[in-house]
Amino acid sequence: MTPRWDHLLLDATLATFAGDQPYGLIRDGALALHEGRIAWVGPRDRLPGEPTTLATRVDYLGGALVTPGLVDCHTHLVFGGNRAHEFDLRLNGASYEEIARAGGGIVSTVKATREASEDELFAQALPRAHALLADGVTTLEIKSGYGLDTDTERRMLRVARRLGKALGITVRTTFLGLHALPPEYRDDRDAYVAQVCDEMLPALASEGLVDAVDAFCEGIGFAPDETRRVFDRATQLGLPVKLHAEQLSDLDGAALVARYRGLSADHLEYLSDSGIRAMAEAGTVAVLLPGAFYALRETRLPPIAGLRAQGVPMAIATDCNPGTSPLLSLRLAAGMACTLFRLTPEEALRGVTVNAARALGLDDRGTLAAGQRADIAVWNLREPAELCYWIGGSHLLREVFIGGEWLSPEG
Ligand code: DI6
Ligand code: FE
Question: 163-209: per-residue pLDDT in tens?
Answer: 999 999 999 999 999 999 999 999 999 999 999 999 999 999 999 99
Encode pLDDT of 98-140 as tens digits. Answer: 887 787 889 899 999 999 999 999 999 999 999 999 999 999 9
Characterize 199-221 residue by residue with b for buried, 16 or more Cβ atoms within 10 angstroms of its Cβ, and e for exposed: ebbeebbeeebbbbbbbbbbeeb
| Ligand 1 contact, 324 CB (< 6 A) | yes
Residue nearest to atom 11 of ligand 1 (CA): 323
| Ligand 1 contact, 144 CB (< 6 A) | no
Q: Which helix (H) or strand (E) holds 131?
A: helix 118-133
Encode pLDDT of 215-274 as tens digits. Answer: 999 998 999 999 999 999 999 999 999 999 999 999 999 999 999 999 999 999 999 999
SS3 assignment, position 100: helix
Say how many Å lie between the CA of residue 75 and the centre of ligand 2. Answer: 6
**What's the confidence (pLDDT) of residue 129?**
98
Alpha carbon of 258 to those of 149, 226, 254, 343: distances in Å?
A: 28, 16, 6, 23
**What's the confidence (pLDDT) of residue 48?**
95
Ligand minimally distant from the alpha carbon of residue 318: 2
Is 17's pLDDT higher than 70? yes
Q: Give me the chain's average pLDDT, please.
A: 96
| Ligand 1 contact, 268 CB (< 6 A) | no
Is 26's pLDDT higher than 60? yes
Residue nearest to atom 4 of ligand 1 (CA): 324
Are 350 and 17 within 8 A, CB to CB? yes
In 3D space, the residue among 18, 5, 137, 133 whose CA is nearest the CA of residue 59 turns out to be 5
Q: What residues contact 364, with CB distance under 8 A and at least 6 apart?
A: 357, 371, 372, 373
Work out the percent of the chain whose per-residue pLDDT is above 70.
Answer: 99
User: Between these two residues, 90 and 235, which has the higher pLDDT value?
Assistant: 235
- Could you tell which of 96, 106, 109, 176 is best to mutate to test the pocket of ligand 1, judged by most ligand atoms within 8 Å of the CB? 106
**What's the confidence (pLDDT) of residue 342?**
98
SS3 assignment, position 355: helix
Please name the amino acid found at residue 304.
Answer: I
Helices 118-133 and 150-167 cross at an angle (nearest 10°) of 40
**What's the confidence (pLDDT) of residue 243?**
98
**What's the confidence (pLDDT) of residue 280?**
98
Is 411's pLDDT higher than 60? no
**What's the confidence (pLDDT) of residue 97?**
75
| Ligand 1 contact, 245 CB (< 6 A) | no
Is 406's pLDDT higher than 90? no
According to DSSP, residue 69 is labeled: P
Ligand minimally distant from the alpha carbon of residue 218: 1
Ligand minimally distant from the alpha carbon of residue 145: 1
Is 95's pLDDT higher than 90? no
Q: Measured from the CA of 79, which atom of ligand 1 is nearest?
A: 12
Is 409's pLDDT higher than 80? no
Residue nearest to atom 2 of ligand 1 (CA): 324
Is 66's pLDDT higher than 70? yes
**What's the confidence (pLDDT) of residue 191?**
98
What does the alpha-carbon distance between residue 259 and residue 224 come to, in Å, rounded to a whole number?
12
**What's the confidence (pLDDT) of residue 100?**
76
Is 410's pLDDT higher than 80? no
What does the alpha-carbon distance between residue 404 and residue 6 come to, in Å, rounded to a whole number?
9
Is 3's pLDDT higher than 90? no
pLDDT band at 11 (very low <50, low <70, confident <90, very high): very high
Q: How much is the average pLDDT of 381-410?
A: 91
Q: What residues contact 377, with CB distance under 8 A and at least 6 apart?
A: 66, 67, 68, 69, 70, 136, 138, 397, 399, 400
pTM: 0.97
- Surrounding ion ligand 2 within 5 Å at CB are 319
**What's the confidence (pLDDT) of residue 2?**
82
In 3D space, the residue among 107, 202, 211, 116 whose CA is nearest the CA of residue 156 turns out to be 116
Are 388 and 407 within 8 A, CB to CB? no
In 3D space, the residue among 331, 212, 196, 317 whose CA is nearest the CA of residue 268 turns out to be 317
pLDDT band at 397 (very low <50, low <70, confident <90, very high): very high
Q: Which helix (H) or strand (E) holds 13?
A: strand 5-15
Q: How much is the average pLDDT of 303-311?
A: 98
